[in-house]
């Protein structure tokens, strides 16, 4: 019987293999290792490009954003990013020249606030806030600029532009504000002149740009102009002279007026109005 015939009998030897043959440890029969798959490239829906993020915030165009990014002016979560096409998530903290960037497009509104509406801190009291009114304006998260007492009425600015809000909250030279004030009793000429010359309160002197009686109205109705941002300044000013404020209406804020803006209504600021506020 030949060697080939013996192989056909079912017993196979050597490298031809068989059911009863042990696996060879030769290199050719070594088990093949599975290769690890390469990490997936983030899809186009993962995050937003850093240059677009900055452009959406109204800081500059995408092209200019690329220049600032490559120059190292932008950080993400505290780290400088110079990579073109870098993507950020909504939860990332992006800063441009050290200032936090708001990914939402800046929006600016002015409201003619009604009496009895809280500006802040009324949720636990169940009272209506100005945010209930401004919720109809936009989906962006707006914040009021400065304060206005609950019983006060008049102009109140809203924005999601933190830089402008901070600037208006603590202006270098103050913001021109004119109030129409109704007192519980007529204001004497003596006290009117005293207020005009400046009154010293517990937190310092309050300078008044102008104060006068309202033409053809009772002497308890006056107009007063100030650039002070101190809390409850109008009420405290008159109280120091023995008067109580019955009605308070802010009719001018910066260069904004209540013209064609009914009580309880709001409107979007024009580009020029935003520029003017930014220059205060």
| Nearest one of 247, 201, 243, 194 to 223, comparing CA atoms | 247
103-160 pLDDT, tens digit per residue, is 778 899 999 999 999 987 555 556 789 999 999 999 888 999 988 889 999 999 999 8
| Nearest one of 270, 198, 188, 194 to 222, comparing CA atoms | 188
- What is the reported pLDDT for 44? 38
Q: Residues 66, 97, 149, 271: which is the catalytic one?
A: 149
Neighbours of 192 (CB within 10 A): 17
Mean pLDDT along residues 190-214: 93
- What percent of the chain stands above pLDDT 90? 54
How far is Cα 120 from Cα 131, in angstroms, rounded to an integer? Answer: 8
Q: Where exactly are the structural domains of the chain?
A: 48-100, 108-172+259-279, 177-253
How would you label 224-246 residue by residue, b for 16+ Cβ within 10 Å and e otherwise? bebebeeeebbbbbbebeebebe
144-153, 239-248, 253-262: segment of lowest average pLDDT = 144-153
Q: Is 92 a catalytic residue?
A: no
Fold of the domain spanning 177-253: Pseudouridine synthase (3.30.2350)
- What is the reported pLDDT for 27? 47
Q: Which CATH number applies to 108-172+259-279? A: 3.30.70.580
Decide: helix, strand or coil at residue 8.
helix
Fold of the domain spanning 48-100: 3.10.290
Please name the residues in contact with 50: beta carbons below 8 A apart, sequence gap of 6 or more: 65, 69, 74, 76, 81, 85, 86, 87, 88, 94
One fold for 48-100 and 177-253: no
Mean pLDDT along residues 176-198: 96
Decide: helix, strand or coil at residue 6.
helix
- What is the reported pLDDT for 121? 59
30 pLDDT above the threshold of 70: no
39-62 pLDDT, tens digit per residue, is 333 333 468 899 989 888 778 889
How far is Cα 262 from Cα 113, in angstroms, rounded to an integer? Answer: 9
């Amino acid at each position: 019987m030949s060697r080939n015939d013996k192989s056909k009998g079912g017993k196979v030897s050597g490298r031809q293999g068989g059911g009863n043959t042990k696996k060879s440890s030769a290199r050719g029969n070594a088990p093949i290792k599975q290769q690890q798959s390469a990490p997936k490239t983030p899809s186009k829906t993962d995050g937003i490009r850093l240059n677009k993020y900055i452009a959406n915030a109204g800081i500059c165009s995408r092209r200019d954003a690329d220049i600032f990014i490559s120059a190292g002016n932008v950080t993400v979560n505290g780290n400088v990013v110079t990579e073109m096409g870098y993507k950020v998530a909504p939860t990332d903290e992006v800063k441009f020249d050290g200032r936090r960037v708001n990914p939402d497009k800046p929006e600016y509104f002015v409201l003619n606030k009604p009496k009895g509406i809280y500006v802040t801190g009324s949720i636990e009291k169940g009272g209506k806030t100005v945010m209930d009114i401004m919720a109809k304006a936009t989906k962006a998260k707006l914040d009021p600029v400065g304060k206005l007492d609950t019983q006060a009425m008049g102009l109140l600015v809203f924005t999601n532009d933190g830089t402008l809000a901070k600037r208006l909250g603590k202006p270098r030279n103050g913001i021109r504000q004119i109030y129409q004030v109704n007192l519980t009793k007529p204001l004497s000429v003596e006290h009117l002149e005293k207020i005009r010359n400046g009154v010293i309160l517990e937190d310092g002197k309050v300078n008044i740009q102008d104060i006068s009686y309202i033409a053809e109205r009772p002497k308890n109705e006056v107009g007063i102009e100030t650039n002070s941002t101190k809390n409850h300044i109008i009420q405290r000013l008159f109280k120091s002279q023995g008067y109580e404020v019955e009605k308070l209406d802010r009719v001018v804020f910066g260069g904004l007026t209540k013209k064609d803006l009914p009580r309880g209504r709001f409107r979007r600021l024009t580009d020029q109005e935003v520029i003017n506020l930014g220059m205060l």
